């Protein structure tokens, strides 16, 4: 028996060695479709936006080259820095609310019990709704006279929920979380299911309780997923403006006018495409910088596996 197995092993190894030289890297040609796609739909527009940020353009006539005029206006524009601040507040608020909820929900729904499967299916429903539908529904729900605040006066005071900066920001965080927690839970659910059961069995033998197992096994094992999910939240937070447009329209005043919304308003309401492109370039810089920083801090770029030593 023993000799037979080892003989087979040797044979297998030999087969592998023979196969190795034929396994070469695929030709560079295979990268062309992806590369062309990336060039046409990502790089070219970015270059275009950078160029437009140096022009004055109303969208009807040809763009006029104005050098750095938009950028010097950008730096002196107090409104832009306020927008940047609000964008940051929303970003941090969204991550602080969404990350813990989606980790807990995701890990919980990773269990194979039938009730969890049924409830998870219900939890994931918001994923099926478009942002527009979500925003319209929530605007009705938050109506001060005919919505929830009118019925729960004790909780909402004079129910002017969208009419104050604090209220509007809280509403935006709640609605965004409601919409995107299911997506992030789904990420965590998949990751939690991939954690090898042997780890939990070993912990159980060592006498670790459910909480300790969660803290010392589940959370470390979810590290890479946390990076992915946070990156999604950061990039999404820096580019998403639809919910702001439909729920608060940047108001009250300009209190929730986040950068992407300012960009939209500058471009499509006041038709100042040049200045809007400057804001867009700034956003591009911010998003790229944020995701690079996230990779560096988390060590995600090293691509170390959480399964080392198993």
Partner 1 sequence: MKNIFSRRRACAALLATTTMMVTVAACGTSGGSASSPTGNVQFWTLQDPTNTVQKTAVDTFNSTGNGKVTLSVIASDGYKDKLRTGMGSSKMPGLFFNWGGGSLSDYVKAGKLVTLDKSLESHFLPSALDAGKVDGKLVGIPIRGTQPVFMFYNKKVFTDAGVQPPQTWSDLTNLVKVFKAKGITPFAVAGNASSSWTELMWIEYLVDRLAGPELFNKIQAGDWSQWKDPAVLKTAQLVKELVDSGAFGKNFGSVSYGAGGTSTLLNKGKAAMTLMGSWEYAVQQGEAPEFAKSGMGYVAFPSVDGGKGDPADVVGNPTNYISVTTAAPSKTASEFLKTSYSDTYVQGLVDKGEVPVTTNAKAMLAKAPDPAYANFQYDLVSKAPSFTQSWDQALGLTLGTPLLTEIQKLFNGQSTPEQFVSAVSALKK
Which of 104-112, 123-131, 214-222, 270-278 is the region at the interface with partner 1 (rule: CB under 8 A)?
270-278
Which contacts of 197-203 are long-range, i.e. CB under 8 A and separated by 24 or more positions?
A: 198/310, 199/310
Rounded to the nearest whole angstrom, what is the least distance from the CB of residue 16 to partner 1 in the complex? 20
Q: Is 248 in the site for partner 1 (CB under 8 A)?
A: yes
CB atoms within 10 A of CB 273: 21
Measured distance CA(226)–CA(220) in Å, rounded: 10
Distance of CA 44 to the CA centre of its chain: 24
Concatenated DSSP letters for 90-132?
HHHHHHHHHHHHHHHHHHHHTS--HHHHHHHHHHTGGGGS-HH
Measured distance CA(100)–CA(38) in Å, rounded: 34
Residues in binding contact with partner 1, number by CB under 8 A: 43
Measured distance CA(181)–CA(225) in Å, rounded: 14
Q: Is 146 in the site for partner 1 (CB under 8 A)?
A: yes
Rounded to the nearest whole angstrom, what is the least distance from the CB of residue 31 to partner 1 in the complex? 9
Q: Is 65 in the site for partner 1 (CB under 8 A)?
A: no
Q: Is 56 in the site for partner 1 (CB under 8 A)?
A: no
Rounded to the nearest whole angstrom, what is the least distance from the CB of residue 275 to partner 1 in the complex? 11
Asked if residue 247 lies in contact with residue 171, where contact means CB atoms within 8 angstroms, the answer is: yes
Q: Is 76 in the site for partner 1 (CB under 8 A)?
A: no
- Among 84, 213, 249, 298, indicate the residue that binds partner 1 (CB under 8 A): 249
Nearest to partner 1 of 33, 309 (CB atom): 33
Give the CA distances from residue 189 to residues 28, 108, 155, 160, 271, in Å, rounded to whole numbers and listed in that order: 36, 8, 34, 37, 44
Nearest to partner 1 of 210, 269 (CB atom): 269
Q: Is 209 in the site for partner 1 (CB under 8 A)?
A: no
**Gyration radius of the chain's alpha carbons:** 26
- Comparing CA positions, the residue from 259, 246, 261 lying closest to residue 287 is 259
Rounded to the nearest whole angstrom, what is the least distance from the CB of residue 96 to partner 1 in the complex? 25
- Among 2, 4, 23, 27, indicate the residue that binds partner 1 (CB under 8 A): 27
Nearest to partner 1 of 98, 265 (CB atom): 265
Measured distance CA(284)–CA(295) in Å, rounded: 17
Nearest to partner 1 of 28, 122 (CB atom): 28
- Among 82, 224, 254, 298, indicate the residue that binds partner 1 (CB under 8 A): 254
Nearest to partner 1 of 74, 232 (CB atom): 74
Q: Is 66 in the site for partner 1 (CB under 8 A)?
A: no
The DSSP bridge partners found for residue 55 are 65
- Among 9, 36, 96, 117, indicate the residue that binds partner 1 (CB under 8 A): 36
Q: Is 18 in the site for partner 1 (CB under 8 A)?
A: no
Q: Is 61 in the site for partner 1 (CB under 8 A)?
A: yes
Handedness of CA 165, 143, 136, 231 (dihedral sign): positive
Measured distance CA(257)–CA(270) in Å, rounded: 15
Nearest to partner 1 of 80, 222 (CB atom): 80
Q: Is 30 in the site for partner 1 (CB under 8 A)?
A: yes
Q: Is 70 in the site for partner 1 (CB under 8 A)?
A: no
Q: Point out which residues bind partner 1 (CB under 8 A).
A: 24, 26-30, 32, 36, 40, 58-61, 139-140, 142-146, 149, 158-164, 167, 248-255, 265, 268-272
């Amino acid at each position: 028996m023993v000799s037979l197995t080892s003989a087979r092993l040797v044979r297998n190894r030999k087969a592998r060695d023979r196969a190795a030289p034929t396994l070469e890297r695929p030709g560079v040609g295979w990268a062309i479709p992806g590369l062309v796609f990336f060039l046409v739909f990502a790089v070219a527009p970015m270059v275009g936006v950078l160029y437009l940020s140096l022009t004055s353009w109303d969208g009807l006539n040809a763009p006029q080259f104005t050098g750095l005029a938009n950028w010097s206006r950008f730096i002196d524009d107090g409104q832009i820095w306020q927008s940047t601040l609000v964008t940051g507040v929303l970003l941090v608020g969204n991550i602080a609310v969404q990350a813990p909820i989606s980790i807990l929900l995701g890990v919980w729904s990773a269990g194979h019990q039938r009730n969890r499967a049924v409830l998870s299916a219900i939890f994931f429903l918001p994923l099926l709704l478009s942002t527009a539908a979500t925003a319209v529904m929530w605007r009705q729900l938050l109506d001060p006279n005919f919505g929830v605040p009118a019925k729960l006066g004790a909780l909402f005071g004079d129910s002017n929920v969208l009419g104050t900066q604090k209220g509007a920001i809280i509403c935006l965080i709640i609605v965004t979380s409601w919409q995107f927690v299911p997506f992030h839970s789904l990420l965590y659910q998949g990751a939690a299911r991939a954690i090898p059961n042997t780890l939990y069995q070993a912990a159980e033998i060592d006498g670790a309780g459910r909480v300790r197992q969660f803290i010392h096994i589940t959370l470390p094992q979810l590290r890479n997923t946390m990076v992915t999910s946070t990156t999604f939240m950061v990039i999404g937070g820096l580019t998403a403006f639809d919910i702001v447009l439909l729920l608060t329209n940047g108001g009250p005043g300009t209190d929730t006018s986040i950068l992407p919304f300012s960009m939209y308003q500058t471009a499509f309401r006041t038709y100042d495409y040049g200045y809007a492109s400057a804001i867009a370039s700034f956003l591009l810089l911010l998003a790229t910088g944020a995701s690079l920083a996230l990779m560096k801090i988390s060590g995600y770029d090293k691509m170390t596996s959480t399964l080392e030593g198993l």
